[in-house]
Structure 1
Amino acid sequence: MDNRLQFNIACKFQENRGFPNVIGAIDGTHIQITPPAEHPQAYVNRKSYHSIVLQCVCLHDTSFSNCFIGWPGSVHDARVLKNSDLWNEGQNICADHHILGDGAYPLKNWLLTPYRDNGHLTAEQKRYNFIHASTRAVIERAFGLLKGRFRRLHYLETKKLQTSCDIGIACCVLHNFCIKHGDNGDEFVEEQFEYINNDIAMGAVDETGSAKRDRIARNLH
């Protein structure tokens, strides 16, 4: 993604709630599948059905800029991310910009998450969390459009996992094609009733990400 394109995307995101330098919002959604022959229990998610995870980064217009699919439904969002190419390439892709993710993801310089609500957040941190969530909400709308437009994604009855993965990615590509050609799909929007993963991704504190988040929080109005 070149600098001019990043600048234009960031401007569009900032027009929403004022969050600066955002070039995408990340989340995962579950696609129900037929229980696979090998290790079926690994694919049972927290809502007790078999699924694979589709991880996506979307832009301001709900089109997808990055997709990764195939990990079992029982796997935590942070682990899915760490096994995708985005984990290793995120800093190079984002440069001075960043992607927004929920608290299930680790805080990085290129991936900004909310402050953990321990009951003692400052007004500044609460404002940051609110604006962060409002800006990031586009990914939920993108998934709602995707599954509303391609209803087969509610349940993929295929014999091979690779076929399910191929169908998922093909639907994302077709979704982007529709957005590019002016079909915003408003009539297809579905509410997303999936469980919300409130687990906080634990691990070493990323000092650059923490400092960046604090700096942005101080300047949000």
Structure 2
Amino acid sequence: MSASPLLRFGPLDLVRVQVGYRTRPGSAADLQFLLDLPVPEADGHGGRLLDEQGLLAGLEPVLFLDAATPRHYSLHEHRWHTSWGASPGVLEIGVLVTTGTGAAAIEQVATDVVIRAFHGLLAATGTPDSAPIPRDAAILRARRGAATAFGLDADSLSLSAEQHDHGRNAWSVALRTLPGAEVDVVVGLVDGYSGSLRLRHVGHLEVHDSVGAE
């Protein structure tokens, strides 16, 4: 036997935050937001510091849309670790918010509150460098984001449109699925940071709840 355990959770390197808005409990979230949040180092010995309760407090604004009363939600957490790779320690946090209405009716207000919440989280952990996002990197991010948000096969998604907003350092990418539905993705949603995305599906799309079972 090894002196140290082989199966263990290593230090956290990354928190992946997913916020989804759905019409009712049990329905698919057709409007979703993703954020890759680097975990800051706590000391000079490679340790990492994550204030999980502070992170959840920073996400609370996503529960408030057009009223002072928070919407009903479900909260999910999943942690995983691999024995290889540059970022082996990942914590995934998902919030599903029930809106009572479709994505089109709340898209703008939801986008505004999520941007504010994500901006606060990035500021608290040290905002990553918002370097220019190359076209191929943006399309790859969009495909992977759609796969994460809607349980799709990233390789089956075809590019149908793209637009680069140079002023915001953001890309709008439209992806077609095999059944003919579309996923509209914004890469660089928060201050041009490539790890922040907004995703919305248009048309009939068989989606899977990627946040977690209830």
TM-score normalised by structure 1 residue count: 0.26
Q: Which has the higher helix share?
A: 1
TM-score normalised by structure 2 residue count: 0.27
| Higher RCO (CA 8 Å, separation ≥ 6 residues) | 1
